[in-house]
Structure formats: C-alpha cells, structure tokens
Structure 1
Amino acid sequence: MSDRTFLDWPFFEARHRELAVALEEWCAAHLPVDHGDVDAACRGLVAMLGAGGWLRHSGAGAGERLDVRTLCLIRETLARHDGLADFAFAMQGLGMGAVSLFGTPAQQEWLARTRVGAAISAFALTEPGSGSDVAATSTKATRVQGGWLIEGEKTWISNGGIADVYVLFARTGEGPGAKGLSAFLMPADTPGLEVVERLEVIAPHPLATLRMKGLVLPEEALIGEAGAGFKIAMSVLDVFRSTVGAAALGFARRALDEALARVKARRIQGQALAELQMVQGHLADMAVKIDAAALLVYRAAWKKDNGAARVTREAAMAKLYATEAAQEVIDMAVQLHGGDGVRHGSVVESLYREIRALRIYEGASDVQRVVIARSILN
C-alpha cells in the first residue's frame, strides 16, 4: 500500500479523503485492464469510469466548479494503478475543459454525455508547425454563411480517432498571434474531418493527426467570444496542468512501492538489498522527491480551489518538478530491479515508458521553466 499520510495535510477536506478511500477500493477491483487493443481499452475505461461515477468530477456544468484537488487525487490514484486509466479520465476533463469553463448551456449538453462515459472528448490544439507555441496556430476559421469554414491540420491529438467530440482551436484573425485565436466545439461526425494518421508511441495511447478540409461548423459552435481562444486554452491548462503533475506523482509512488518490495525480497551476499546503506540512500532520495512533488501539486490545486484567478506559476512549478522527479524516481526503481527492471511488461519498465511523455505534453519542461522565470522576473 502506498503512503497515504499526505491525505492528512491541510490541503484536503474530509470529502477528499473519503473520495481517495473509495477510489482506491474501486481501482483495486477494476484495474489494471488489458492494453492489448488500446482503442478498445480506452473506450472500455471511459465506460467503466462513467459507470463508477468518477467522470462526474471531470467537468462542471452550470453553477458548478471544477475541484482541482479532486482532479489531482483521481489522476494520482488512477496512474498508480493503470496509466491508461489515468489517460482515459484526464482526457474527459481536458477535452471538455473549455466547455466546462466557457461553454453555453447548449454546448454543455455534451458534458451530460462525457461525465457518464457515453461520449469521448478530445482537445485539438497542437499542430505540425506549432507545439508549445500556441500563438503560432495556423488552422484557419473563416466566417461563411451561417457559420465557420475550418481548414488546417492538428497532430498529437489524444483520443484522436476515437473521440466523439473535439474542442478545436483555430485562427479567426481578430489580431496578430495569440490575439487572433478562437475555440470551437466540433463533433467527430462533422463532414470534412479526416483522421489522416494514427500515431504510435512508446507507451501506447490513442493519438492521431487530424485534417479539416471544407469543414463547416455552425455559428453556435464558437466557444466564448471570437478572439478569446488563447485565453480559453490557457485557462484550461491552468486547471489541468497541475493534474499532469499528479499523474506523475502516481507513477512515482508506484515505482517506490515496487522498489521497496524488491529490495526487501532480493538478497545479495547473504543480506537483503534493503540493508545496504547505499540502497537506503536511494530510497530516501526517492521518498523526498515524491513528497516535494506532492506538496507542489496540491499547493497549486488548493490555491486554485480557493479562488485564485490564475495559478500559472504554481501549476508550472508543479508540473515541472513532479514530472522530472518522477522520471528520476522511476529510473532508480528500474536500477534497483537490475535486469528485471528492463524486462518488457514488468511494472517498472511500463512506468519508465509511461512517464516520458508527461515531461512533454501540456507544455514541455523547458517551456515550464520559461513560464516560471517570467513570473519571477515581472
């Protein structure tokens, strides 16, 4: 059992502790799932998470607020049990984040489906020529009779190819760079939307490149105001960036659990590995990194939940440190497992592949460093 003493920290309320206990029991009964067919596994996980009631926390309708501490606790717990389950939950939240925060009542009808697992959502922001540089978005949305003509490509889109609905960001031209972007709600069955490539990565997830050609969305597909797309995207990331750190934290906790079990059971020269002072030093370093990451993650989440308009700096610190620290913790867990640590399909080998992408998506580590530096220079 992973360390749960952090739940006693003052960041949490009784409802968070109760949720953590209930989710732990649910995960023990349902996870992990078979990842052999990744698309089918994700569809199944969304349905399971919906049936279990967990997806109701992934979005917020009229009169509701997203609780970031809850999002982080869910992602941390799911990631510790099954990285694909964390992915399935996270994308229901990120995909509908713009609708939760800025959507009209009609647009938020999609939340009634995504929050019970009846529809899968996706966040279509990244392009072949613009990753972390959102202001360089080139997909165009042009006003036409009764709506918007969308032309362009998006890539590295999580849930691409299996999503039922996408939140799409495109250039509408109200101003240069970031000032000329808008957000749109795009159902997957819209004529003119094509999945041109499915992308394979070291830790398999549904990923795709999308092409919009001659695609027309109705006027009411616009989320918020025209030209507010960059603000919308950053507001969504302000909420969900901390949760990436939480997922990394879950991976790191699982790695430490596996390492502890290994060094207690494995013997060398007549004694358990755990009795070697150097091994104890490694375990101590792993534990310190995990607690430091947890403090940063839940500080950012607590501050957002307590009314902070923006937590850009805190969320960037949480994501940067938690993902980098988790990489180091998992690497040491692999080292302590020796040859078994790189055996395909072992828990720590799977964690080693899972953690790498978290240092890239939703703003790569070096981008987070830029964000943090600018916040302390201003």
Structure 2
Amino acid sequence: MADTSFLNWPFFENRHRELAEQLEVWCKGNLPVDHSDVDAACRGLVSALGAAGFLTHSGTTGQERLDVRSLCLIRETLARYDGLADFSFAMQGLGMGAVSLFGSQEQREWLKQTRAGKAISAFALTEPASGSDVANIQMMAKKTDDDFVLDGEKTWISNGGIADLYVVFARTGEAAGAKGLSAFLVPATTAGLSVEERLEVIAPHPLARLKFKAVKLPRAALIGDAGSGFKIAMSVLDVFRSTVGAAALGFARRALEETLTRCADRQLFGAPMHELQMIQGHIAEMAVDIDASALLVYRAAWTKDTGAARVTREAAMAKLFATDQAQGVIDKAVQIHGGDGVRKGSVVESLYREIRALRIYEGASDVQKIVIARQEISRKQGENK
C-alpha cells in the first residue's frame, strides 16, 4: 500500500481523511477494470463512480464551492489504481466545471445527471490551430435574433464520441482575442454536431475531433455572459489544473510501490536488489520528488479552498513540477524493472504510457513555465510602482 502519511499534513481536515479512506476501500474492490473496450470501460466507470457517490465531488448543484483538495485526493487515489478511472472522474469535473462555476439554474440541472454518473460530459476547448493558445480560438458562434449558430472544429476532445453533452468555446466577436470568446452548453444530440474522427493515443482514452456545421443553439445555451468565455475557461483550469498534478502524483506513488516490491523480491549479486547503494539512491530520489510534488499540489488546492480568488501561479507550479517529476519517477521504475519494465501490460509500462499526456494537456509544461514567469514578473512590476 502506498504511503498515506501526507494525510496528516495541515492541508487536510478530517472529512478529507475519511474520503481518502472510503475511496481506498472502493478502489481495492473495483479497480482496475478491463480496458479492452475503452468506451465501454469509461461508461462503466462513470456509472460506478456515480453510484458510489464519488462523483458528487465533481460539481456543485448549489452555491457551495468545489473542494479542490477532495478533487485532488480522488484523482491521486484513482490514478494509483487505474489511469482510466482517474480519467473518467476527471472529465466529469472538467467537463462541467464551467456550469458549476458560471451556469444558470437551468444548465445546472445537468449536474444532477453528471454527478450521478448518468450523463457523460466533455470540455471542448482545443482546436487544430489553438492548443494552449486559447485566445486564438477560431470557431465562430454567430448571433441571430433568437439563437447562436456555431461553425468550426474542435480536436483532442476527451470523452469525444461518448459524451452526452459538451461545454464548447467559440468566438462571438465582442472584441479581438481573448475578450471575444463565449462558452456554450451543447447536448451531443444537437443537429449539426458530428464526430469526425476518433483519435488513438499511447494510453488509450476516448478522444475525438468534432465538427460543428450550422449548429443552432438557443440563447439559454450561453454559459455566463457573452464575451466571458476566456475568463470562464481560465477559471475552470485554475480549479482543475492542480488535479492534473494530483493524478501524476498517484502514478508516481504507484511506480515507487512497484519498485520497492521489485527490489525486495529480486535477487541480484547474491542479495536483495534494495541493498545496492545505487538502487537506494534512485529510491531516495523518487521519494523526495513525490513528497515535493505532493506539497505543491496540496498547497495549491488548500490555497484555492481557503478563499483565494485565483491560484494561477500555484496551480501552474503544481502541474509543471508534479507531472515532470512523475515522468522521472516512472522512468526510474522502468529502468529498475529491467526487461519486465518494458513488457506490454506490466504496471510500470502502463504508467510510462499514462504519464506522458499529463505533461501536455491542460497547458503543456513549457506553457506552465510562461504562466509562472509572467506571474513573477507581474508581481515584481507591482512592487516597483
């Protein structure tokens, strides 16, 4: 079992420790699932997580705030057991994040379905020419007297092809760049919306390229105010970016546990592998990187939960460091496992494929560096005024 002593850190309350314990029991009895049919596995996981009550943490139907520490604890624990389970939980939260934070009462009715695991959600932000550059979105939402008409494409959309509804960002033209975007709630059955291509990646997840051709939406589909789409997207990422670091942390903890077991069981030069000083050095580095990542992840989550309006800097640091360090931890695990580390289907081989995407989605590592640097520069400029 992975180290859980971090739960005694002052970032957490008793309710967080109780949640972690309940989820640990559930994971032991339900994970991992069969990944041979990824779409079916994700649908089953969403349903099971909803029935168990864990998806209630993925969104809010009232005025209460999203608890980021709970989101991080759930993602870390699920990732430690099954990457697809983490994915399924995360997309329910990210997909409906805009509705949780800015949705109308009518739109929030959908949260009853997504939190129960009876509807699958998706966050449709990325386009072929605008990945991390959100302000460069080209998809158009033309206003008419009674509705909006959407035309364009989205790509690399998680849950694309299996989602029941999408939160879609498009250009409504109130101003140039970031100030001219809006967010819309689009049911998957809406006429003109089609799945153009299913995308396969090294760690199988449901991903797709979507096409919107003269998709008519009523004014009630607009989330928040027209022109506030960039603010909405950044606010959602501000909440959920830390949780990407938490998922990476879960992968890294599993890699360390697999390594410790391997080094205790494996005999090398007449003694257990863990008696070799070089192996001890690798284990020490893995443990330090994991604890340092956990401190950054849960600092960001605690800061948001205790009332900070924005945690752009803290969340960017958490995602950057935790995902990059998890890559290193898992690479060490593969190396220590030798040939078994690259055997298809082994735990560490699966972790090696799972971790790579986390350094790209919700803002690639290099983009996080830009975000952090700009925050630091802005802080210094503010001091000099």
Shorter-chain TM-score above 0.5: yes
CA distance in 1, matches of 2:146, 2:227: 18
CA distance in 2, matches of 1:190, 1:253: 42
Counterpart for residue 11 of structure 1: 11
Counterpart for residue 347 of structure 1: 347
Structure 1 residue 119, shift from structure 2 partner: 0.1
What secondary structure does 1:108 align onto? helix
CA distance in 2, matches of 1:298, 1:322: 11
Deviations 1:122-147 (A, max 9, x none): 00000001000000000000012321
What secondary structure does 1:289 align onto? helix
Counterpart for residue 170 of structure 1: 170
Letter in 1 for 2:340: D
Counterpart for residue 383 of structure 2: none
Counterpart for residue 302 of structure 1: 302
Q: How does 1:259-298 map to 2 (within 5 A)?
A: 259-298=259-298
Counterpart for residue 106 of structure 1: 106
Counterpart for residue 44 of structure 2: 44
Counterpart for residue 161 of structure 2: 161
CA distance in 2, matches of 1:293, 1:63: 31
CA distance in 2, matches of 1:251, 1:357: 12
Q: How does 1:1-378 map to 2 (within 5 A)?
A: 1-378=1-378
CA contact (8 A) 1:192 1:215 kept: yes
CA distance in 2, matches of 1:341, 1:324: 19
Letter in 1 for 2:60: A
CA distance in 1, matches of 2:214, 2:282: 57
Counterpart for residue 381 of structure 2: none
Deviations 1:166-196 (A, max 9, x none): 0000000000100000000000000000100
Deviations 1:68-92 (A, max 9, x none): 0000000000000000000000000
CA contact (8 A) 1:146 1:218 kept: yes
What secondary structure does 1:33 align onto? coil
CA distance in 1, matches of 2:257, 2:53: 28
Letter in 2 for 1:221: A
What secondary structure does 1:213 align onto? strand
Count of aligned pairs:
378
Deviations 1:339-363 (A, max 9, x none): 0000000000000000000000000
After the TM superposition, list the runs of 4 or more consecutive aligned residues in structure 1 that deviate by more than 2 angstroms: none
CA contact (8 A) 1:293 1:322 kept: yes
CA distance in 2, matches of 1:363, 1:351: 20
For the aligned residues, what is the CA RMSD? 0.4
Letter in 2 for 1:184: F
CA distance in 2, matches of 1:215, 1:224: 19
CA distance in 1, matches of 2:244, 2:337: 26
CA distance in 2, matches of 1:180, 1:106: 24
What secondary structure does 2:205 align onto? coil
CA distance in 1, matches of 2:2, 2:345: 21
Deviations 1:14-37 (A, max 9, x none): 000000001000000000000000
- Superposition TM-score, scaled by structure 2 size: 0.98
CA distance in 2, matches of 1:244, 1:268: 37
Task: Report % sequence identity.
Answer: 74
For structure 2, the residue ranges without an aligned partner over 5 or more in a row are 379-385
Structure 1 residue 65, shift from structure 2 partner: 1.0
CA contact (8 A) 1:128 1:155 kept: yes
CA contact (8 A) 1:121 1:165 kept: yes
Deviations 1:106-131 (A, max 9, x none): 00000000000000000000000100
CA distance in 2, matches of 1:214, 1:317: 40
CA distance in 2, matches of 1:348, 1:298: 25
CA distance in 1, matches of 2:140, 2:377: 34
CA contact (8 A) 1:165 1:186 kept: yes
CA distance in 1, matches of 2:329, 2:269: 26
Letter in 2 for 1:225: D
Letter in 1 for 2:373: A
CA distance in 2, matches of 1:36, 1:49: 19
CA contact (8 A) 1:62 1:105 kept: no
Structure 1 residue 315, shift from structure 2 partner: 0.0
- Superposition TM-score, scaled by structure 1 size: 1.00
Letter in 2 for 1:368: Q
What secondary structure does 1:323 align onto? helix
What secondary structure does 1:32 align onto? coil
Deviations 1:256-299 (A, max 9, x none): 00000000110111011100001000000000000000000000
CA distance in 1, matches of 2:214, 2:3: 53
Letter in 2 for 1:279: I
Letter in 2 for 1:300: A
